[in-house]
Amino acid sequence: MINKTNLKSLSKDELAAFVGAMGLPRYRAQQLFHWIYERHASSTDEITEFSMELRNTLRDVAYISNLALVKKLTSQDRTEKFLFALEDGNTIECVLIHDEERITLCISSQVGCAMGCSFCLTGKSGFVRNLKSFEIVDQITAVNKLIRPERISNIVLMGMGEPLMNFDEVVDALWRIVDFIGVSKRKITISTAGIVSKLRLFAEKAPEVNLAISLNATTDETRNELMPVNKTYPISSLIAACKKYPLQPTRKITFEYVLIEGINDSVEDAARLVHLLKGLRCKVNLIPLNVDMENGLRRSLDSKILAFQNILQNNRIRALIRESKGQDILAACGQLRAG
């Protein structure tokens, strides 16, 4: 592929410029776009709308990148996990979740993760590199091809990596998901550990997708232990940024709270969470810990989970208990490891 242009790396304007530089009429760019993003062509040879001569000419100067499926696992609950290889040999995972009304794909934004959250397996392998915007989008294209005639309806950036630490590529990918793939902004959610310095800029630059904040503690002491990012962006600064985050009238910020036995699941924690979220238009997803880590972290007891939920709901905070799917294939929240 040396010196060849990857057509998936190009924006619409860049694709038009590329076609123009080849001396082709502008409508050829729209045809290419159609074959890449709607027909899911994996090579220029598949574009039968072009003459053989044009396909040969195009093959000499361009190619269409594709994620290579390395492994697919299917859970007892129908959740599917895909391990894909990138062009450089690195691997990433994404997870397809089937619900009654939607098909959701959880995609990755980085190879590995640098956040080092103690309850998450992804960070155990360390950070390798950021994904390019087309690699982020290509997870959707690749899975859509595999599940035809079904089609992904919802996207969550909750896979490997911290999206806001790959800011420019993620923002570009979100616009491509909306404009190229045709997924509604209301059906896309980005989850962040709380990179405060990027939140306002994200609201300005990205499409108006749903925002989820991985909170997981109500004191800096506890959150410092669970999520080292808190040492840079403590809870007070994170909550202040959330209060300033521009929301459309019907939108809410989702706060994700992984419940860990004896660490963050007490009645006092629930009361502090009520106080922290006062005045915020939000909801809370309570997520029982999915894995028993080497450091001894354990899932909260069901009785504590219900008590925690009741305290939030009694204070008019919508709180849902989210039992993650795909745990038997290590596809649940915090379990992705790209291998």
Residues with Cβ within 8 Å of 38's Cβ and at least 6 positions away in sequence, in order, are none
Q: Are 189 and 167 in contact (CB under 8 A)?
A: no
Both tokens of residue 324?
A: 């993650």
As beta bridge partners, residue 82 has 72, 94
Residue 311 three-state SS: helix
β-sheet with 188-192: strand ranges across: 68-74, 80-85, 91-98, 103-106, 154-157, 188-192, 210-214, 253-259, 282-288, 318-321
CA 17 – CA 4 distance, rounded (Å): 15
Q: Residues with catalytic annotation?
A: 93, 333
Per DSSP, the residues of 13-42 read HHHHHHHHHTT--THHHHHHHHHHHTS--S
State how beta strands 91-98 and 103-106 pair. Answer: antiparallel
